[in-house]
Amino acid sequence: MHETIQAIILGLLTGGVYALMASGQTLIFGVLKVVNLAQGALVILAAYLSSSLFVSFGIDPFLTVPIVAPALFLLGAAVQWCLLRPLHRSDASQLSLLVTFAVALGIEGVLTLVYKSDYRTIQPSYANRSWTVAGYRIGEVRLAACLLSLAVLGALALLLGRTRFGRAVRATVQNPTAARLLGVEGDRVAALGYGLGAATAAAAGAVYGMVYSFNPNSHYDLISRLLSIVVLGGLGSLGGTVVAALAMGVVSALVGALISPVWSDFSFFVVLLAVLLVRPQGLFGARLRGAL
């Protein structure tokens, strides 16, 4: 029993970090109808930038987020403006897959050139410290990472729900032509939306680098998980994404602890397949479609 609860705690904390990474993916899909294959690479890029700032300047990995996030915001907005915007509307959804994959490969290439392909982790002094609460171990980094995720997700929800920009985003997601007819500049909203999605990858990257070891190729593994979460949550639903990420985290941790770590990753995809067999639209796909 103790082992089960410990696994659930670990799973929830890990799921929180995945929720952050995948929420950017969901936002981009919602606004642009683009399956952003570069999201994993953006997370890894952020992990490297965070690692460099920590190693070279001694900046705490969590404090690198406010530096790396604006940089990735600009990169994301530039990718949308320069590479995705010019795509012809009729075949944009297929071509955007190729374009975002190309961006992922480009980032991977640059990272390999600059950092080589060795694995690394970000190791602040508190990386391996943990608290023990009622006999259960809670890693400091994982807890802080999960809290950061919740804070960023909360900020994202406020931004979408309460601001003029948020209304423009939601309007564009729900009815792009109508939004345009009311004066919403679709291209600008799309660029800001992609930028915002990339910025969440920045927050996630710093955290990812402390929890997992990574190299420039790590984005392949990451993107397959992110896509699974986004599909499981019901494409385009932020709430669904968070629930799916937590569910995936818990299932992986439980399987890892109770059966074997070998099956842990695999269980991720088994859950996806099982859910899609019963609910092809994902957990929240039908109810919240278009709501973000």
User: Which residues of the shown chain bind other proteins in the complex (CB under 8 A)?
Assistant: 164, 167-168, 170-171, 174-175, 177-185, 288, 290-292
Nearer to other proteins, 179 or 226 (CB): 179
User: What is the largest distance, in Å, between two alpha-carbon atoms of the chain?
Assistant: 59
Question: Which ranges in the chain belong to alpha helices (H)?
Answer: 2-32, 39-57, 61-79, 92-115, 140-162, 164-174, 176-181, 186-211, 218-233, 238-258, 261-278
The nearest distance, CB 82 to other proteins, in angstroms, is 20
The nearest distance, CB 193 to other proteins, in angstroms, is 16
The nearest distance, CB 196 to other proteins, in angstroms, is 19
Helix (H, G, I), strand (E, B) or coil at 1: coil
Nearer to other proteins, 10 or 173 (CB): 173
- Reference 198, options 45, 84, 39; nearest CA is 39
Nearer to other proteins, 200 or 237 (CB): 237
Give every CB contact of residue 87 below 8 A, 6+ residues apart in sequence. Answer: 95, 96, 99
- Reference 202, options 58, 84, 41, 89; nearest CA is 41
The nearest distance, CB 181 to other proteins, in angstroms, is 5
- Dihedral of CA 91/94/98/103: which sign? positive
Nearer to other proteins, 264 or 281 (CB): 281
The nearest distance, CB 161 to other proteins, in angstroms, is 10
Nearer to other proteins, 175 or 213 (CB): 175
d(CA 106, CA 108): 5
